[in-house]
Amino acid sequence: MKLRMFQIDAFAERQFEGNPAAICPLETWLDDTLLQAIAAENNLSETAYFVPAGDAFELRWFTPVEEVDLCGHATLASAHVLYTHLAYTKPEVRFLTRSGPLTVTRGDQGLRMDFPAAQPVMTESPEALLEGLGKAPEEVLAAFDYIAVYDTEEEIQALTPDFAKLQTLGLRGVVVTAPGKDVDFVSRCFFPKFQVNEDPVTGSAHCELAPYWQMRLGRRELQARQLSNRGGSIGCEIKGDRVLLSGKAVDFMVAEIQIDLDQ
């Protein structure tokens, strides 16, 4: 069996920037064990699969170790594949996911995703979080990740986490954030539970970061930068209980997977 696969740099304006995702368009769903094995073989933070479903597409995301409920950069990359490689021409793509319907629209500034917002709440700082980050934040909040807030961009850049300690925490991962110099806020994202110690650019984290920074800065439209080695830029806009995330995507590889079903 042969499958098409596209490797896309998402939230990027050029190759080798942003977050790489593998995208496999399917006609029908394959066995989950095979989907997970392909994701493990790719060893990227996310491999996404989609199948046609009427006027929409069912979309699923897999890390190297398990399926996840929400992934921003692989959603952006999936829409890019549809528009760039699969002759999709409608102004909006609708994806059906474990996090509900998600839409992506195409515009002059790239692709814009409509995601559910998550409002972080203040929480106690677990000892493993403080030990894992190595420097105490000014405050700690929680949504689907722990969010550690620092005063400066330099503090974010200087962190050298102990991923073994962060892996013991109960939530999905740890996001650190601070005001930015050239953007409204910056962040880094750590997900050692999923064999992704530091994610290059994390769209889903901005579903919780944007509401926090809107509350703090008093603006609905925000510009963000994730300070990984690759780096990436995300436009954020709060609309009620939704977050609109904007970014661009760039092709890196077009490939064909050959699966031996007799193994």
Catalytic residues: 46
Task: Record the tokens describing residue 216, joined without a space.
Answer: 């703090």
Task: Record the tokens describing residue 181, joined without a space.
Answer: 């110099």
Quickly tell me which residue has 């769209």 as its tokens.
203
- What's the chain look like in SS3? CEEEEEEEEECCCCCCCCEEEEEEECCCCCCHHHHHHHHHHHCCCCEEEEEEECCEEEEEEECCCCEECCCHHHHHHHHHHHHHHCCCCCCEEEEEECCEEEEEEEECCEEEEEEECCCCEECCCCHHHHHHHCCCCCEEEECCCEEEECCCHHHHHHCCCCHHHHCCCCCCCEEEEEECCCCCEEEEEEEHHHCEEEECCCCCCHHHHHHHHHHHHCCCEEEEEECCCCCEEEEEEEECCEEEEEECEEEEEEEEEECCCCC
Quickly tell me which residue has 């409204």 as its tokens.
184
Task: Record the tokens describing residue 9, joined without a space.
Answer: 């740099």
